[in-house]
Structure 1
């Protein structure tokens, strides 16, 4: 496989230590360790300074094999590499967000990172009330952040990498039907689904193909989502949603649903090779390694390195509220290696994906999604 398709997490993680205020691109990574589920303060063993960085998760928790877990790795990397103190608290429901952020304020954190679009209101309110604390938020750049010099958005244009994933799925399907579903109808979910559907459409135009996307209609901005009050934590619900798409003929599933997406991986595994998946947020062969034989590739976001860089900038006194936008061009998002599928993905398809990446970066291919972030 050509190197231009791959993200290089180890190299980019090392480079992150030279960053100020997220001026350079992050890479991707995932942690398989499940952290504590209660508020904690964990000073580094040797040379821990007075600086303390803290994190508040979305309701998926720090072991979600997705965006919370990858963001949390940025915090643990900061502890190990910068010799700082850290604190964290997991959220179990929307009602937890404001009080959990306040608990980190009360714990005298110098910087607080919140994880997820759904924490935007609580994060903005806390940043406004605590101007002497630096804040960063993963996956949100809301208008309410304007004028807050102590709040940095860390966002990612995953429509670009999802476009590549859609093209990949269209090139690999045997049934000519591919599926996707989301956890909830929010921009940080639908951006993946938009890019995926447009990538399939592009494949059809280039190849005179007829691959259908089940689960998302980009024109109507409507599709299949996990029902219920906890759509991102309902693995059985994710499996039922995936099975619905599979029953309609989809043989590649693209779940954008956090832990609920594991239900799609379970369905793929149970199919004994008839159905496969493309994972999101982190390399699924790292974060959900038991399902690596079912994962063709993953659309990854470099949340860990973005978080690490923002923490370092705060510690060094170079923090800026300017948004970080991860793209294919700066390495903030991209497709992960094909792992077990490397020999199964045709060389021609790999070359086409390299060309698509270059064309997206150059602007030759333009992605259309209302959910794309702007700087």
Structure 2
């Protein structure tokens, strides 16, 4: 019989929440997953977690999961398993973990380190997967322009940085190219990474935007987006375009569509590559044209599939121009 080790580890210091999930440890590779934020956001982190679950359904491995709430202050988690086993790989999810990912790669030069939505890492043991989001956000802008009754739409972003700028510019350009006269505004939840998990602040911003006549909001703020959706559920005429996961499940009456990063598939693929022995280092772009990003619509608001199909090529070309 294989030995079974069950560990519950809770580390609450410097804002670090460590939640390892450890099962049978004998003869199984260990996969460490570090999230920028916590599960349950119905967005970015949950999408990555779905990929971990999918991989676990096919492959036999042990997992340690960590949630980092303050990447600039929190220490690197303990990577070795409870029996001292070395991880087969470390997967880091979220741009705020770029520096941590590079530190781990430098300290463990033979350990595969995969960073998703990160700045590019250096080293022969690193893989960076970047998700260009201009094209799918462009489609979201077209949809928002078609849904607004006031002619005012907005983006609520987690913080002001290059990653958010790609969403904002794509959305704004899509709205402009929709053929309708639309005013696009932008609001930021915070000036640091707390903007990705501050739903109450995002809810306040949605209230202010609504007071100014905005009736469609594209939320690009991770877990903070739940605050926007909550406000919309209680406000007549307000609609939302979600992000990272299909958020119509938490707002079926208000979420018109959701812009997706297909993190689940990428997480699955990267774990598979390490376990099957074909890990390839480097930088990979996974955007609209190659199904790394996309958009899903809520059928409660009508069938938008023909609009998405008709404008898909236009959006993909716009993304290529933006990235070039």
In the superposition, the TM-score normalised over structure 1's length comes to: 0.76
Aligned residue number for residue 179 of structure 1: 154
Establish whether residue 79 from structure 1 lines up as the match of residue 56 from structure 2.
Answer: yes
Structure 2 counterpart SS, 1:271: coil
Task: Measure, in 1, the Cα distance between the counterparts of 2:169 and 2:24.
Answer: 42
Partner of 1:53: 31
Report the CA distance between 1:368 and its aligned residue: 5.6
In structure 1, which of residues 326, 330, 336 is the aligned counterpart of residue 286 of structure 2?
326
Structure 2 residue aligned with 1:254: 218
What is the TM-score when the length of structure 2 is the normalising length?
A: 0.87
Residues 107 and 195 of structure 1, relative CA distance in 2, 3 Å threshold: farther
- 1:29 aligns to what? none
1:55-204 matches, cutoff 5 A? 55-58=33-36, 60-95=37-72, 97-100=74-77, 102-103=78-79, 108-142=86-120, 145-146=121-122, 148-203=123-178
Q: SS where residue 63 of structure 2 aligns? A: strand
Q: What is the match of residue 8 of structure 1?
A: none
* Displacement after TM superposition at 1:237 (Å): 0.2
Structure 1 residue 188 displacement after superposition:
2.3
Residues 1:340 and 1:93: Cα distance change in structure 2 (over 3 Å): same
Instruction: Mark the CA change 1:319 to 1:97 in structure 2 (over 3 Å): closer, same or farther.
Output: farther
Paired position in structure 1 for 2:270: 310
Q: 2-side partners of 1:193 and 1:366: how far apart?
A: 13
Q: Is the 8 A contact 1:77 1:308 kept in 2?
A: yes
Once the 2 structures are TM-superposed, how far is the Cα of residue 49 of structure 1 from its aligned partner?
A: 4.2
Describe the superposition over 1:241-273 as per-residue Cα deviations: whole angstroms up to 9, x where unpaired: 11222111110001111111111111111113x
Q: Quote the offset at 1:161 in angstroms.
A: 0.3
Q: Which runs of 5+ in 2 are unaligned?
A: 1-9, 11-16
Q: CA contact under 8 A between 1:88 and 1:104: conserved in structure 2? A: no
Could you tell me which residue of structure 1 aligns to residue 18 of structure 2? 38
CA distance in 1, matches of 2:50, 2:232: 27
Q: Which has the higher contact order (CA 8 A, sep 6+)?
A: 1
Deviation at 1:96, TM superposition (A): 5.5
- 8 Å CA contact retained: 1:167, 1:199: yes
- Structure-2 residue corresponding to 1:211: 182
CA distance in 2, matches of 1:65, 1:91: 17
- Aligned length, in residue pairs: 306
Structure 1 gap segments, 5+ residues each: 1-35, 216-223
Displacement of 1:65 in angstroms is 1.3
CA RMSD for the aligned pairs? 2.2
The structure with the greater share of residues assigned to helix is 1
Q: 1:151 to 1:231 in 2, by over 3 A?
A: same
User: 2:30, 2:85 within 8 Å by CA — same for their partners in 1?
Assistant: no
1:20-35 alignment, distance < 5 Å: none
Are the equivalent residues in 2 in contact too, given 1:44–1:80 (CA < 8 A)?
A: no
Q: Quote the Cα distance in structure 2 between the aligned partners of 1:82 and 1:200.
A: 43
* Deviation at residue 193 of structure 1 after TM alignment: 1.1
Alpha carbons of structure 1 residues 107 and 171: separation in structure 2 relative to 1, 3 Å:
farther
Distance 2:289 2:278 in 1: 24
